[in-house]
Amino acid sequence: MNEVSQKRVSWAEMLDVLTDTDRRRNTILEKPSEIERMALFLLRREGFSAQLAAQTQKNYDLELYKPGERVAVQVRNHRAKVHLGQIEKFIDFLTHDDSQHFTGGIFISTSGFTPSVYSYLREDKTSNVRLAILREGRLIWNAEEFDSTIEREKVTYFGVFTCKGGVGKTTISAHLAGAFALNGYDVALLDLDRQQNLRKLLGEGVYLQNTKGKIGSVISVLNHDEWDEPAYRDTKIVVCDCNPEFDSNPTDFIRQFDYCLIPTTLNPLGINKNADVIKRTFYQIRRVNEKAHLFTLINNFHSEEAHRNNLLNQALKAQFKQLKELDPKCHYIDPEEVSIRFSKQLLYWGYHLFENTRPQLAFRSVGGYSYPRMDFLKLVDYLELETEIQKIRQIG
C-alpha cells in the first residue's frame, strides 16, 4: 500500500456497477452499496484480501487483510466533504479497546476532505489512518495534493462578541485565527477591546510553520485602525476580538461580519442568565448587521460530565429555540458536535509571558494529543459547512 495508486479502472472491470448516465457524467454514485463494491474492487487490486463488514457493524464498511495487517475501512459518498468530526470519530473507534485487532484504518471519500482534516492529521502526526479519494474509477492516495482548496474570492470577517466579559473571547479569537492559519490562511487578528489583551499575549503576531515543508501562515495582530484590506492582499480571513461594550466597537467592522461567535458556558446557576446575555448580544449585532450568521458556542466544556451536560444543554437549547424561530441565521452549536473543551493548555495559555519566551498558541500536544487544536479545527469546519448548508436551503 506504499505505492500511490492512480491507475483508472474500466467501468467493465467494476462489474457494471455504473450506469450509462454515470459513465457520461463522471459523477459520484448515489447508492452507498455501489461505492462500497467499487472500493472493494480497487483495494483488492492493491493486493489486499478484502471483504464487506457485517451489516450490524456501523463503525466501518470494509475489512482488509495482508500478512501482519488488518485494516478497517470507512467509505463515504457524501456531497459535502468529510469533516474533522467524522475523522475524529473514526480515530476514536480505532483506539477503542474493542478495536485493538486492527493495525490501522483507511477513510475513503468520493467528495474529498476539508482542510481541517489534513491539518489535524499532519499536525498530530497520525500515522495509523490514511485518506483516499475515490474519483472517476480510481483511488487517489495523495489526497491532500489532489484535493486542493479553492481560494477565497473575498475577505471573510469573523467577530467574537458577547455583552458579558470573562467568557473567553480573547482565547477563542486567537485560537480560531490559529485554526485558519493551520489550514493555510494568512489571518488578520484585530483587537477591538480597549484592554488590548491580544497584543499583550501575541505581540505583533505569530508565524505557524507547515510541517510538510511548505511555507507556513502568519497571524498579524492589529488594532482596528491599522487594518487596511488592500494592503493585506494575501489575507483572506479577519478575526475580531470585540469589546463587550457594543457601542465601543467600530460600527464599520460590525457591519462587515460574515460570522459572529457568542461564547457562553454550561453553568447550572447561569442558564437563564446566559440565555438572556445571548439574546441581548444577538439583538445588539442585528441593530447594524442583518447578514451575519450568529453562532452560540459552549466554551470551557467538561466533556466527562455527560449526564449533567445533557440536562444543562437541553435547558439552554430550549431557551434558544425562540431565537432560532425568529432568525434562521441564529445557530446554537450543540456541544456534542463542537465545543471548546476544558484543557490545561487553554487554562495556562499566556504563561509564556512569565517565562519570557516567544508568543505561541495552545496547540502543542500534551501526552500525544491537543484538545485545543482538534476543537478549533472542528469549529472552522462547522462554521463553513453549516453556512454552506444554509445557502443550499435558501436556493432550494
* DSSP per-residue string spanning 39-63: HHHHHHHTT-EEEEPPTT--S-SEE
In this prediction, residue 20 has a pLDDT band, given cuts at 50, 70 and 90, of very low
pLDDT of residue 272: 82
- Domain ranges, ordered by start, for the chain: 12-146, 156-395
Residue 113 clears pLDDT 90, i.e. is over it: yes
Residues 6+ apart with CB under 8 A from 238: 155, 156, 157, 158, 187, 188, 190, 227, 256
Residue type present at position 230: P
**Rounded Cα distance, 137 and 144, in Å:** 18
Residue 29 clears pLDDT 80, i.e. is over it: no
Residue 22 clears pLDDT 50, i.e. is over it: no
Query: What is the percent of the chain where pLDDT is above 90?
Result: 52
Residue 169 clears pLDDT 90, i.e. is over it: yes
pLDDT tens for residues 303-332?
888 899 999 999 999 888 888 888 999 999
In this prediction, residue 249 has a pLDDT band, given cuts at 50, 70 and 90, of very high
* Contact assessment for residue 264 and residue 278, using Cβ atoms and an 8 Å cutoff: yes
pLDDT tens for residues 40-69?
999 999 888 988 888 778 899 999 998 889
Q: How far is CA 40 from CA 16, 47, 94, 138, in A?
A: 14, 11, 20, 12
Asked which of 175-184, 204-213, 312-321, 363-372 is least confident by mean pLDDT, the reply is: 204-213
* Overall fold of domain 12-146: Trna Endonuclease; Chain: A, domain 1 (3.40.1350)
In this prediction, residue 213 has a pLDDT band, given cuts at 50, 70 and 90, of low
* Overall fold of domain 156-395: Rossmann fold (3.40.50)
In this prediction, residue 25 has a pLDDT band, given cuts at 50, 70 and 90, of very low
**Rounded Cα distance, 106 and 88, in Å:** 13
The pair phi, psi for residue 90, each rounded to 5°, is -65, -40
Query: How many other C-beta atoms lie within 10 A of the C-beta of residue 168?
Result: 18
Residue 19 clears pLDDT 50, i.e. is over it: no
**Rounded Cα distance, 46 and 2, in Å:** 10
